Structures are given as C-alpha cells and as structure tokens.
C-alpha cells in the first residue's frame, strides 16, 4: 500500500528545501513528502496523484507566491480533494487574510514563518492535522467490517456505537455489495442473522449487543478497583471535564458511559464557538481529545455500562449497573446529560432507526448523498446538522414549529443556513405523521398557522427536539423538578421537600440533595445547554468534590 502524501509549496527554493527537510525528518516513515515551487505546479501534482488514486493527507503552502497566492491554490485543493488538510504558512501581516480563509475555504490552520524550532512550532500543528486525517482514513486491513442493510435498526445501532467510539469500520450493504453476500455465505449465516460484525482478530459477531461488541474490540467494560474517590456517570463534556480535573489532581476516578463518550456534543459536525478553535472542531474530535486526556491522567472509562440505580451505603455512594454489579465511590458526579425527546406523531415510532433518527453523528451525512433530508428542531444541534447534511444531500428541509430561528439558535448558524442554497426552512411546521413499508417513505407536514397538511416523499428524517434528562435511574433519593432535571445548591433548599437536606451546612453550588453527589452539565436544572458551560461545570464540580472529601 502506497504512503499518503504531504505536499509542501513555496516559491523560495531555500524555504522549500527547509520545509521538506523538516517534514521528512519527522514523517518520512509514514508519509511521502514532496515539494512544489508554485501554485500551478502544486495543482498539477495534485491532479496526477488523484488520477493514481494516491491519498494527499496535507498541503502546506506559503501565502505570498507569484501568479497564484497560497489561499487561491489551497481553495483549488479543497475543491479537488475535500478531505486533505490545509496549512497556510504566512507572515503576521497576512493574519486577516488567513482568518478570512477559515470561512472561505475551510482552512484548517495557519502559522507564521519562520517555524524554528520545528519541534516546538511546526510538529505539534502538523501532528494534530495528520492525526485528524489518519483517523478518518484508516488502513482497510485494520478495519472492522459490518454487514447489514441500510434500513435495519440493529445495523444502525452497531454502526453508531462504532463511530461514536472512534472504531474504524467498513460498511457492506447486502443490497448493494456482492462482497457482503459472499461473506455471509463464508460465515455460514443467513439474512436473518444480520448485522454481522467481522473483527480482524476475533470471531464473527451476530447482531451483537453494545457490551458484546465492546468486549470483542477490547474496550473496557468493567471497573478495576473496588472503591474509587470519584465515580462520574456520563461521559459527555461535563463528565469528561470532571474526569480530566479529578484524575489530574490525584483522585482515583472512574467514568461510566452506557453508549459512547461525548454525549450529544459528540454528534456535532462542527462546534464553531468553542474557545481556542477559530476554525471550530467537530464534537467527535473534541471527545476524542478529552478521552485521551482523561486516560493520560489515569481516569478509567467503563463503556457499555448503564447506571440503573443509586444507593447510599454509609459514607460510600454506589451506582448500580445493568449487569447486576455496582461501582462504589466516596463521591459521585451525575453528568448523564439529556436525550432528544421522542417525536409524537402516528407512524413515527414504528419507523425509528428505519429512516427516522434522533440526533446524527457527523459521519452519517454521507449515507444521504444525493437524497432529500428533513430535519426537525430549532436549536444549535439542529442547525449544525443541517449544514453538515447540506454538504452531501441534494436538498435539506429544516422544520421549525416556531416563527423564527434566531430565538433558539446562535446567529452564526442562522446566517450560514440562510446562505446555503440547498437548504429550505419551513417555519410554523411540524410532522403530523410518517408512513412507509419497513422504512420511511412519506411525511405528512402540518402548517401550524393555517392548519393545512400535505404529504411529501421522504427517506430521511432527523429529530433534534427538546431535552429529556436521563435521571430515572436515580430513584427518589435525589431531588428533581417535574421534568426530571436534578436540583443542586440553593434549589435543593428551596424545593418543596426542603427538609430532606441532612447536614447543618448548606449544599455546595453543584451538590444534590444527597451530600457527596454532585450534578454537572445539561442534566442539572437551569444549566446553559452549551458545551463550554458543561465543561466549566465539570471542572467546578471537582473543586467541590475536594471540599466534600476533606470533611468526611
């Protein structure tokens, strides 16, 4: 298999030799590093590589070149090779131009020349870009293979679990791929056994559960210690931030996650208002970095484990698990987040995961290429999904119950949606019914102002509505409001059952009605429902955990 290419472009021969030298010194073992001395030459090389089916992982270009600027050339690279990472090497005077290129051509990164010493300035940037590229382009020989059909809810669940846990896989559709049918025969299975999951170093799995799949892939599904300083339930932004801060400060820490790290944020194709990332970053990338960071400090993450109950055992807090076990800790952070509310309309529930989906990971947009897509919702998650689907779908229709987008969505998303030609926004509109034989085929849309209804053909509907907190497992011990959101701090004392707080001191700001149990992120009453605020609450919870542990 040929190595992927790194292309360096600079019209100054001395600078060109220097950048190629530095790139080869670090990356030559895994990448082929080549040079071009003009934008035109670079584009010719790119065309040749494309015709030879050679992957181009990164193009690093100078900005100020005769005939064609670096940004002009990189814009053409983006058109010809959309997944190639783009790095602009420029002078401080061109900062404004570089920032504009982030929006105009989706420039991945810009840095100033010179880059000496490369170990401190160049390599950390290139490492990050190549890591992102390689995670999306794994060698086929290392991939899990999933055989199923596109309208199977069980196949969808398997693909979602793999994608959200950053496990590379290759999808083989029995309706389209001859190889899929051949592998079913080789495995001596039938269509009723699908999905079939083929693991490179393991036995074939027939319609596996998340736990079976996680065990086969070597993911951790059981805690290693009998007692922890802290158990965090939920690995969304709040839970992962709590894990990073707790483990880095010496607390023995375990994180329990029933699905995959990242929560709803992990499904976002692009979080553009997160501090420190001017180009934005995907929820998947943010999650991947956070999981690695927590693990580096020693936090354990237990996957495919669902908290189904909670018990106080003297000074110990126990989270009861679906497999009959329990994890005990001296303190607990509840960070289970929220789930999208179910869409209530005739025919919808029957077609769930068969054309109707709740949320959507960034990778799912590719399966809708050339089709029409309907999205329900009016918050940021819906807006980000619409823009991601618009890259692949022929047409995207956003259905909004209210009369405008701006009341629930960040303005930068509203502006992008309005400017995207293949996106249509239908205000005062809701789904009245869904129909289809085994999969979604039609939607009935209702105009809430006029009362009129119309039926439209549809294959894909993605729902991003409301927020239902995942707190039923807590039972009656932790005080919640009528909708299920966890009460913390002064809200505990102000609740109707104010006598349930057992201590002389008041509860700490994020502490629940059970001392030593804290809540952070979207699961908490009156949280901001933003990634940055969830991260902040996760970090703040650890400060309060320390205060609590110092008193027991």
pLDDT in tens, 38-62: 999 999 999 888 877 789 999 999 9
428: tokens are 């005062």
Judged by average pLDDT, the poorest of 6-10, 164-168, 530-534 is 164-168
Better pLDDT: 281 or 294: 294
Percent of the chain with pLDDT over 90: 65
pLDDT of residue 518: 98
pLDDT of residue 496: 64
- Domains of the chain with bracketed CATH: 5-136 (3.40.50.2300), 140-212 (3.40.30.10), 230-339+468-549 (3.50.50.60), 349-463 (3.50.50.60)
Beta carbons within 8 Å of 40's beta carbon, 6+ residues apart:
67, 68
> Cβ–Cβ contacts within 10 Å for residue 264, how many?
22
Give 487-545 pLDDT, tens digit per residue.
Answer: 999 999 888 665 678 999 999 999 999 999 999 999 999 998 889 999 999 999 999 99
CA distance 377 to 323: 35
| 8 Å CB contact between 351 and 345 | no
Model confidence, pTM: 0.81
pLDDT of residue 498: 57
- pLDDT mean over 339-344: 90
CA distance 46 to 73: 11
- What's the mean pLDDT when you consider all of the chain? 91
pLDDT of residue 65: 92
Among 83-97, 203-217, 505-519, top mean pLDDT goes to 505-519
CA distance 437 to 448: 27
- pLDDT mean over 148-177: 87
pLDDT of residue 142 exceeding 60, the answer is no
CA distance 121 to 205: 45
Beta carbons within 8 Å of 99's beta carbon, 6+ residues apart:
110, 278
Of the candidates 94, 110, 116, the residue with the CA atom closest to the CA atom of residue 25:
116
* CA-to-CA dists, residue 150 to 173, 178, 354, 435, angstroms: 7, 15, 8, 17
Give 417-435 pLDDT, tens digit per residue.
Answer: 999 999 999 999 999 999 9
- pLDDT mean over 294-300: 96
**Coil, strand or helix at 547:** helix
pLDDT of residue 67 exceeding 70, the answer is yes
pLDDT of residue 237 exceeding 80, the answer is yes
| 8 Å CB contact between 412 and 501 | no
Orientation of helix 95-104 relative to helix 70-80, angle to 10°: 20
* CA-to-CA dists, residue 545 to 58, 318, 519, angstroms: 44, 16, 11
- pLDDT mean over 117-125: 92
pLDDT of residue 1 exceeding 60, the answer is no
CA distance 211 to 159: 14
- pLDDT mean over 80-95: 89
CA distance 271 to 265: 8
Question: If pLDDT is split at 50, 70 and 90, which confidence band does 279 have?
Answer: confident
pLDDT of residue 91: 84
pLDDT of residue 109: 93
pLDDT of residue 275: 87
pLDDT of residue 205: 92
pLDDT of residue 183: 87
């Amino acid at each position: 298999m040929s190595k992927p290419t790194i292309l360096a472009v600079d019209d100054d021969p001395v600078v060109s030799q220097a950048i190629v030298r530095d790139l080869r010194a670090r990356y030559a073992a895994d990448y082929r590093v080549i040079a071009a001395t003009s934008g035109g030459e670079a584009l010719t090389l790119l065309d040749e590589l494309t015709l030879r089916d050679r992957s181009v992982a990164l193009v690093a270009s100078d900005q100020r070149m005769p005939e064609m600027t670096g940004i002009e050339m990189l814009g053409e690279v983006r058109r010809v090779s959309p997944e190639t990472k783009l790095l602009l090497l420029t002078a401080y005077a061109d900062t404004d131009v570089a920032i504009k290129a982030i929006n105009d051509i989706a420039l991945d990164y810009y840095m100033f020349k010179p880059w000496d010493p490369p170990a401190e300035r160049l390599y950390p940037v290139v490492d990050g870009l190549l890591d992102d590229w390689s995670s999306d382009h794994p060698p086929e020989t290392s991939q899990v293979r999933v055989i199923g059909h596109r309208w199977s809810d069980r196949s969808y669940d398997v693909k979602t679990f793999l994608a959200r846990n950053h496990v590379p896989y290759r999808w083989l559709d029995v309706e389209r791929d001859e190889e899929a049918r051949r592998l079913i025969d080789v495995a001596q299975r039938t269509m009723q056994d699908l999905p079939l999951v083929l693991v490179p170093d393991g036995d074939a799995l027939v319609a596996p559960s998340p736990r079976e799949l996680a065990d086969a892939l070597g993911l951790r599904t059981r805690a290693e210690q009998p007692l922890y300083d802290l158990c965090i339930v939920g690995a969304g932004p709040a839970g992962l931030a709590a894990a990073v801060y707790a483990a880095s400060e010496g607390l023995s820490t375990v994180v329990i996650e029933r699905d995959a790290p990242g929560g709803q944020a992990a499904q976002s194709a692009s979080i553009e208002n997160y501090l420190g990332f001017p180009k934005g970053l995907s929820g998947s990338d943010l999650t991947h970095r956070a999981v690695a960071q927590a693990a580096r400090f020693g936090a354990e993450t237990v996957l495919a484990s669902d908290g189904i109950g909670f018990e106080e055992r003297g000074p110990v807090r126990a989270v009861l698990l679906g497999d009959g076990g329990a994890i005990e800790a001296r303190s607990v952070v509840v960070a289970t987040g929220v789930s999208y509310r179910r869409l209530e309309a005739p025919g919808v529930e029957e077609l769930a995961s068969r054309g109707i989906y709740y949320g959507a990971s960034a990778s799912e947009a590719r399966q809708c290429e050339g089709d029409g897509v309907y999205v329900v919702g009016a918050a940021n998650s819906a807006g980000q999904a619409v823009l991601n689907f618009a890259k692949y779908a022929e047409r995207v229709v956003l259905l909004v119950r209210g009369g405008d987008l701006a009341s629930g969505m960040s303005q930068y998303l509203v502006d992008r949606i309005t400017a995207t030609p293949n996106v249509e926004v239908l205000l005062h509109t809701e789904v009245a019914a869904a129909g289809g034989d085994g999969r979604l085929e039609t939607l009935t849309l209702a105009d809430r102002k006029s009362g009129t209804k119309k039926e439209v053909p549809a294959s894909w509907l993605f729902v991003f509505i409301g927020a239902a907190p995942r707190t039923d497992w807590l039972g009656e011990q932790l005080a919640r409001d009528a909708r299920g959101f966890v009460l913390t701090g002064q809200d505990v004392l102000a609740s109707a059952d104010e006598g349930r707080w057992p201590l002389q001191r008041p509860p700490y700001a994020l502490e629940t009605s059970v001392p030593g149990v804290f809540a952070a992120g979207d699961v908490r009453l009156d949280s901001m429902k933003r990634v940055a605020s969830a991260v902040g609450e996760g970090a703040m919870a650890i400060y309060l955990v320390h205060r609590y542990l110092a008193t027991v």
